[in-house]
Structure 1
Amino acid sequence: MASPHDHAPAGTGLDPAQMIAEARRAFFVMFGFLCLVWATQLVNWLLDGRMAMMHGIRPHDPDTLKYLLTAPFLHANWQHLEGNSGPLFVFGFLAAYRGVRKFLGLTAMLVVTSGMTVWLFQDGDTVTVGASGLVYGYLGYVVLRGLFDRNLIDSLIGLVMGASFAYVLTAAVPGTPGVSWLGHLGGLVGGLVGAWLFRDRSPGPAAVPSADGTLPVPAPAPGAKGAQASAAPASPRAALLKELDDLGL
């Protein structure tokens, strides 16, 4: 009798029911995060923007290092928040739907890489706030995660999303007025590194024993006298993984 993991998507270690549950959690996590960000901006607006000025990142100022934790929740104005909300939800959901716990660890990492890049290298006469560093981090994570996890669906999603939002990468280079390209770059690099650090480490699917308890072994290939044949793939998914291995992916 096959185990539940024989029907799980490659590289996930989860069966379909678990994946649906994780996707549901991811949706509510991102919905709650957006609600929190919008509620914070409402308070900031009522205070004429003083909240963002007081709790943003000021480069090279040790007293503002603690504001690395608050800056992603704050925005300069409503237009700033509106521009971040769509990509934040889309890429945040894609980053979280295969594991909310990994997603929370990734988010903590992006807060540090994006904020510290600003704190270390930004001009000293600025205050930086906004969730765009997280957006770039989630983008980088989603694009590379499928390759590291050898998951064909995630790879395709990453390529499509990367192509669809390629224009946002232009804000990760110098020259955009009023935009902290360093924060974007720090988040993007953090997401790329996070795709490797948080890669799936679960073992691949094992071959399913037959009724007599033996594993299926194919007949030796013609001309391979006395050679021990390797075990046959347990499923078409295993065959796909072998093809990816042969391609070096």
Structure 2
Amino acid sequence: MAKPPVARTARNVTKSLKTQVSTLGTTMGAFWITFVVNGMLGGALNQFGIVPRTVSGLRGILFGPFLHGNLQHLVANTIPFLALGWMVMLRDARHFLPVTLFSMLGAGLFAWTLGAPGSVHIGASGVIFGYLGFLLLAGVYSRSVASILLSLVTAALWGGLVLGIAPGQAGISWQAHLGGFIGGILAARAFRKAR
């Protein structure tokens, strides 16, 4: 006997929620474990961050988001990563990984190209700004009511972060923020359709 539609829907929602919690939890676990290991090694892993205009610095596009300079840096990235990452999955869970990769690539290339010589760019904030760019523009590109509402909610709750793409405070990689934001916008354009 087939299950009624309400039961199927509840089961799908539960399964989707478990996937979201598992994905975000695993990623955050990787951030925190990397932070602890890096601390035990005296910050030796920071060499795997983005070092502008060096060949070895390109590996930071992949590794940089998992590295954080101190506990305050990690905590400051944890909440927006969880919130905005979850909102990306709410729109369409299938887009979480590609949007993350677009954001990492944009953040990494901008930091690598525009960063100060000899600087090292680490942290997940470029990815966070990618999620922000994706969520803000997804409604514009998809023109669906749900996506537009999600864009408006994102703007209301997190819109102030956009100021972080401008040069400002020393030690903050505005280059990664800007690149991630643009990567997120490109992802929104690429993934116009959501479930």
The TM-score with structure 2 as length reference comes to 0.88
Q: Distance in 1 between matches of 2:144 and 2:13?
A: 14
Q: Percent identity?
A: 31
1:59 aligned counterpart, secondary structure: coil
Aligned equivalent of 2:20, options 11, 22, 26: 26
Which residue matches 1:35?
29
- 1:59-70 alignment runs, 5 A limit: 59-70=52-63
- 1:41-120 alignment runs, 5 A limit: 41-52=35-46, 54-120=47-113
Q: Distance in 1 between matches of 2:92 and 2:14?
A: 11
Which residue matches 2:172?
179
- Unpaired runs of 5+ in structure 2? 1-5
Q: 1:88 deviation in Å?
A: 0.3
Q: 1:116 deviation in Å?
A: 0.5
The TM-score with structure 1 as length reference comes to 0.70
> Measured at CA, do residues 172 and 126 of structure 1 come closer, stay the same or move farther in structure 2, by a change above 3 Å?
same
- Deviations 1:31-52 (Å, cap 9, x if unpaired)? 1111110111011111222212
CA contact (8 A) 2:52 2:111 kept: yes
CA contact (8 A) 1:115 1:183 kept: yes
Alignment: residue pair count: 190
Aligned equivalent of 2:129, options 128, 133, 136: 136
Decide which structure has the larger Cα Rg and report it.
1
Q: 1:97 deviation in Å?
A: 2.8
Letter in 2 for 1:94: M
CA contact (8 A) 2:88 2:135 kept: yes
1:80 aligned counterpart, secondary structure: helix
**Which of structures 1 and 2 has the larger relative contact order (alpha carbons within 8 angstroms, sep 6+)?**
2
CA contact (8 A) 1:57 1:118 kept: yes
- Unpaired runs of 5+ in structure 1? 1-6, 8-14, 203-249
- Deviations 1:131-155 (Å, cap 9, x if unpaired)? 0001000011112223323332332
Which residue matches 1:207?
none
Tell me whether 179-188 or 116-125 shows the greater mean CA deviation: 116-125
Letter in 2 for 1:38: W
* Segments of 4+ moved more than 6 angstroms: none
CA contact (8 A) 2:49 2:59 kept: no
Q: Which has the higher helix share?
A: 2
- Deviations 1:34-83 (Å, cap 9, x if unpaired)? 1110111011111222212x111100001221221100000011100000
- 1:167-206 alignment runs, 5 A limit: 167-200=160-193
CA contact (8 A) 1:22 1:97 kept: no
